[in-house]
Structure 1
């Protein structure tokens, strides 16, 4: 959704922008092409391979600063606290991560059952599956994957690990497929299970909520927030975050009327999706949803 993102960010020549999910730099290149010599681009990513690519591609550009870490922690970066004219968050797993079997994200490629976006932090999917009890596994599959067969899959995982631990992506995919009937179409029975475990291991929804708050606080009035989501759980969080800061909560006759609400975000258009040409070229884009919001002055900023 390159063109939609560039339109949404509305890049200013001398502005300061943060790409919180560098990936392999497609959007970052677009921002840099629109920046003048006085502009700044801050790049973040959890993935050390993405950060290495950022250094190779843009490390020599004086306008660029690079920091390894989660966008949830952008508020700890002095450069971000100085004020931003735009923040981009392209959520979920990147294509390079999916395509490399050793990262353990794909049920279509056999590799170590890892799934960590930052392989140097936290426990892997295999480690979590080895210690979590049946109820916890089922709750994660239901909450983050909306998997209707969550309890059946959890029972199968716990029964299997009594014999030997699950350490490979192909092992988990085959186990799930053995207990979940294949539905219509070409969607693999393990799709929701892999999504749920990945989200849990990487604390993706918690990071998203923290990151949205940090971006809101870092944006200057007039700055733009652009977020690309790939499933309903992410998009729901983004939609509610923007709505809560764009309009006063509905009244309740049992409670005193809320007064003094000052909106701090303005939605820019509605939810946008990839067009047919992009989906044909990149089938992964079919589930992408872009939401854009513009930062408004707070009550204090308006008085200043």
Structure 2
């Protein structure tokens, strides 16, 4: 584990996100993915009588953010839980409406840089990838136990990996003699399945992404969560979501488009019978991306996309 004083994290699209949320000093805000508190700090520092409720699955992230934001302890509630349980938590506090919600769906620098977490193919360590290392099945267990069809499907659907079958077959063959235990071992195995002239970044990136998504069930429930939490926004309340790969962005776009429609009847239907109402107005017709200046400072911002919508 990396010591707290050595952890460095630059929040992605910070100004664009905070401006997009249009913070009200007396508002109630939810940060569904607190991480190391970069966005949360900017939100809570703008509150007077307002409140911020922050969620994160990673207990270490909650601990660090609690220490970092101790001066705002009267304005912030931190909860170690999945953001998908936010509605249940708001109900427990009898909070019917909120003024804004933020999701930053990326992995934090702390998680990527810590070899013990197993998120990165650039740091050698045990393959784990769980946001909460006390629960669930690790990536190591998937590589050890998953049958060929399941493993290939994970790589294909969550990593959009062209060599999914070949990589899964190689893993199955290798583990008969020796289990794949470290990130470097996995990265080298994936590399061996690619043509020698491959030049488009590290070949392991899609497999690592796929395993992380599967381990943490990152896509499961995202669409339904956006629908339900958007309906908890009061009028002119905003939702901001930062994604880092096309699978997430497509889900966010689909959810926003559904919420903005005022009718979902068949186009051939002479009258509307669905009773669907338009719930939001999409603020970002196209996702906001990082500037070249930000990418120079923080290369992890390169793939970030921010979408924002406002409750009508």
Post-superposition Cα deviations, 1:220-264, rounded to whole Å, max 9, x if no partner, equal 222100000000000000000000010245664555643433101
SS in structure 2 opposite 1:164?
A: coil
Cα distance in structure 2, aligned partners of 1:216 and 1:99: 33
Closer, same or farther in 2 for the Cα pair 1:74/1:184, shift >3 Å? same
Measured after TM superposition, the shift of residue 183 of structure 1 is: 5.8
Distance in 1 between residues matched to 2:39 and 2:167, nearest whole Å: 38
Q: C-alpha distance in 1, partners of 2:94/2:209?
A: 30
How many Å apart are 1:213 and its aligned residue? 3.1
Answering whether residue 54 of structure 2 is matched by residue 54 of structure 1, we say: no
CA contact (8 A) 2:265 2:272 kept: yes
Q: Which whole-Å CA distance do the structure 2 matches of 1:218 and 1:182 have between them?
A: 52
Cα-Cα RMSD: 1.7
Residues 1:262 and 2:262 aligned together: no
Output the TM-score relative to the length of structure 1: 0.92
> Superposed, which structure 2 residues align to 1:155-234 within 5 Å?
155-181=169-195, 185=199, 187-234=201-248
SS at match of 2:30: strand
Q: In 2 relative to 1, CA 80–213 (structure 1 residues): closer, same or farther, beyond 3 Å?
A: farther
Q: Which of 85, 93, 103 is the matching residue for 1:73?
A: 85
1:268 and 1:64 map into 2 onto residues whose CA distance is 27
Aligned length: 295
1:5-58 deviation digits (Å, cap 9, x = unpaired) = 01110000000101111111111111112111x110111100011110122122
Is contact 1:141–1:193 with CA below 8 Å preserved after alignment?
yes
Q: What aligned pairs does 1:5-154 form with structure 2 within 5 A after superposition?
A: 5-36=17-48, 38-59=49-70, 61-77=73-89, 78-79=92-93, 81-154=95-168
Evaluate the alpha carbon distance shift between residue 257 and residue 194 of structure 1 in structure 2; reply closer, same or farther with a 3 A threshold: farther
2:256 paired with 1:242: yes
- Which segments of 5 or more consecutive residues in structure 1 lack a partner in the other structure? 297-304
1:279 to 287, 291, 295: 295
More helix by share: 1
1:213 and 1:278 map into 2 onto residues whose CA distance is 31
Tell me: CA distance 1:183–1:118, structure 2 relative to 1, closer, same or farther (3 Å): farther
CA distance in 1, matches of 2:83, 2:113: 23
User: In 1, Cα distance between the equivalents of 2:164 and 2:310?
Assistant: 39
The answer to whether the 8 A contact 1:70-1:207 is kept is no
Contact 1:19/1:89 (8 A) holds in 2: yes
The secondary structure found in structure 2 opposite 1:293 is strand
State the 4+ residue runs in structure 1 displaced beyond 6 angstroms. none
Structure 1 residues 253, 24: closer, same or farther in 2, change over 3 A?
closer
Say which is worse superposed, 203-212 or 90-99, in terms of deviation.
203-212
